[in-house]
Structure 1
Amino acid sequence: MGVYRSYSDSELAYLLTQGDELAFTEIYNRFYGLLFIHASRRLNDEEEAKDVLHQLFESLWVKRMQVAPDGNLSAYLYTAVRNRVLDVFAHQKVENRYVDSLQDYIDQDHVLTDYMVREKQMARLIEQEIDALPPKMREIFILSRKENKSHKEIAMELGLSELTVKTQVKKALRILKSRLGLVIYVAFLFKNYH
């Protein structure tokens, strides 16, 4: 299963269309948390959000042949969640508060970029992934990305070679990209940490 973490979203999408269950599991692990946050914020109901996600991933497996193997997997999943959230609103009793919620959702959705959740939530998730890095790698990465220190400065401060620092930063970025997904990695990581 470990090797699947290194696959890109498009590689996983292709393997999914081939009926690869491990690829499906990796997609689930990679995206469930982000999609759940998105759905629960919109619905303001965690149980409802769990139902939406359960139905979404069940449908994803059943309709796996319809996934574009070279498409944007992240956008595909966020669009699917958005549509399911709208379905939930549509099936609620037609009371003012549901109509207002639906309009608020549509209004707010226009400000989302590429179907991503709000920046603060993304930053929090990125922080969690950085915290999960091996201690030395995390220390080097934070000095590089958050304190904007050069490889040479970090090497001198920690008593390491520049090559070691450079290698550790590259490894950290590779790990974060595999865990966060390419779209999130590009949109948020470099904005906040580069």
Structure 2
Amino acid sequence: MVALGDLLDDELVSLMQGGNQQAFAEIYNRYKGQLVVHAYKKLGNFEDARDIVQEAFSAFWNKRGELNISLSLAGFLYTMVSNRVLNFIKHQHVVSRYASSFHQMLREHPNPSEIRLREKDMEALIQKEIDNLPPKMRIVFLLSRKENLSHKEIAESLHISEATVKNHIKAALKILRMRLGLAVYCLMLLKF
């Protein structure tokens, strides 16, 4: 039998499209490092680069049955990551502009009703991103942040380990930081 490491990319993709997790793992191990470096060069932040590559591979696996790779696998993966990097940068600019305009508005017009309206907009944005978290992660996050339960209390109520609770909260914060940007993320920490 041929080892997966000896197979060509096209062969691995075919196996993966059939649901072979080992083929996916081989593709992941083959390209992960290069893709993280590629994303890091664009972002200058290793953690964000790693998160974007992880997200790209997650989408790659989830859409394996729909994939139509017309160019090389490497080119396909680089394009996936590049598009996510561009979307991330674009989103960061939008968040920065929104935060800047919010702070400018506070300096120029300390109108309490206008401030409250902006706060509600930001809270709605935060809540939308929390609602988009995976179900179990969202439940753990809300129990921690809104109900102020300890890791131990959450673990007992959901019948999971404290380590799993900690991992869910850490992953949720990472996702929210990436999606919301630093300014909104800081507000979220204060509110939730």
TM-score bracket for the superposition, by shorter chain length:
0.3 to 0.5
| Larger relative contact order (CA 8 Å, sep ≥ 6) | 1
Q: Which has the higher helix share?
A: 2
State the TM-score, normalizing by the size of structure 2.
Answer: 0.48
Q: Which has the larger radius of gyration?
A: 2
Give the TM-score normalised by the residue count of structure 1: 0.48
